[in-house]
Chain A
């Protein structure tokens, strides 16, 4: 029955569409005007094609077509506008491609590190939110709300400008590069949102489980670590991945503060080429296409895991 939404799983005899359950292709269980539960992301085909149990990350053909069409279209615009005597688009593009992709590598490094730090701190903060100690809960709640509701760019600015650019430890001067500060700044909103995920997951476990483990003489800590959290992991993975994609898409923001990631390096490349207006479209759409190629499969994978791990009532 995997893959069929639970509320559609069992057709009620006699309430079908007149053709009998399943014959008309729909799996609606009732004709009564009841509110159907919202269905998420109808665009995703299901079941997800898998190869040896691993979700196949192939994107639909038209999606690839779209990405190529955008890029090729902008290249066409560029060619239409190119004057003579300038460096050709492809020549310029291939010349600067390694430099630009080097920038994208920094985007990825920042996203990995910020996600790791944010997850570690976020789990801690989330557990503080379900703590029995009232002041601890209040502190955790305040921190979570604060970092969830401030714009990322404001956090980024405050970290870039208020953290020192070098620190002295034992007489040695250690300089802190901009991207490190950006990583720390990004990890804080991630921390707050992971904390919310952890809190939500812990609270979504039926209270009967707490009660039965108490009756089996588990302590509160044992219950949390051995009974509750292992069940939470599964339902936390899809939203966690979703936040990873959001984080990755936020990393270009640090180019505003002169960190040489993909957007910054593209602008530097365009600068070095003398800022020809006809190159803007292909270069900027290349950034969009690269991020799309990275984030779209993650989004699809998230949706498929979400369905796979959906709680069956």
Chain B
């Protein structure tokens, strides 16, 4: 891959001074590829965990136990109305400080890495929005459908999993799309706790090579491209999941 493009970008640098060093030097290229891997891993795992938080949270929100509902409302309001960046710092510095460290023979390694804390923090942040989105979807499912499930002997959990959620999910998809795009953009904040994702890595690259403009262009293209792919994928999914007569 690098062999194919390296000549072009080396010539570009020699002729115009535009230094896209990541596209012609092996070391920087490896860094760049690793950054893609880490950032995609971060994005995908936060997406998945935030969806899990959303689904479980929306179920808990309809709980008959008052305390559970109050806890969920508190969680949602707190995570929605505080800065995600400070949440990340709080998770990493405060809770990371309290979690036990494992002895790795001579040095100590925290039980949860900075990558782990980034995933946890981002999932809870986006999850708070997902809960609200799913709840709106669940409320749009006709009561009669739920009652029909009940009369067929489904328990609350069974009817949630097999009847309500598949319908609610389809209704929620457009709003979910927005929130997931937002989550994707928020993953850059993991920079603050030194997770080597794209922004962090390119920051190192431009510190080493003094080519801020070029790396900025790469960053813009990378993130606008990722968002475009996500939006396109979600749209396709929405089309495929469509049930005739619903929504």
Contacts and interface: CB of A to CB of B under 8 A. Distances in A.
Interface stretch (A95-103, A129-137, A247-255): A247-255
Nearest to A74: B94
| Contact count band on B | 35 or more
A38 B74 contact: no
A288 B139 contact: no
B186 interface: yes
Which of B86, B143, B144, B199 has the most chain A CB atoms inside 10 A of its CB?
A: B86
B85 A252 contact: yes
B199 A288 contact: no
Interface stretch (B10-18, B109-117, B151-159, B219-227): B219-227
Interface string B64-89: 00000010011011101111111101
Contacts of A207: none
A299 B70 CA distance: 18
A283 B218 CA distance: 37
Contact of A152 (B141, B181, B185, B212): B185
Interface in A255-274: 256, 263
How many of chain A's residues touch chain B, expressed as a range? 35 or more
Interface stretch (A40-48, A116-124, A229-237): A40-48
A166 interface: no
Contact of B81 (A37, A253, A295): A295
Pairs of residues from A and B, 3 with the lowest C-beta to C-beta distance, nearest first: A151-B185, A249-B83, A38-B136
Interface of B: 70, 73-74, 76-78, 80-87, 89-90, 93-94, 97-98, 132, 135-137, 139-145, 171, 181, 185-189, 191-192, 199, 203, 206, 212-213, 216, 219-220, 223-224, 227-228, 246-247
Interface of A: 28, 31-43, 62-63, 66, 70, 74, 77, 145-146, 149-154, 157-158, 161-162, 245, 249-253, 256, 263, 277, 280-281, 284-285, 287-288, 291-292, 295-296, 299
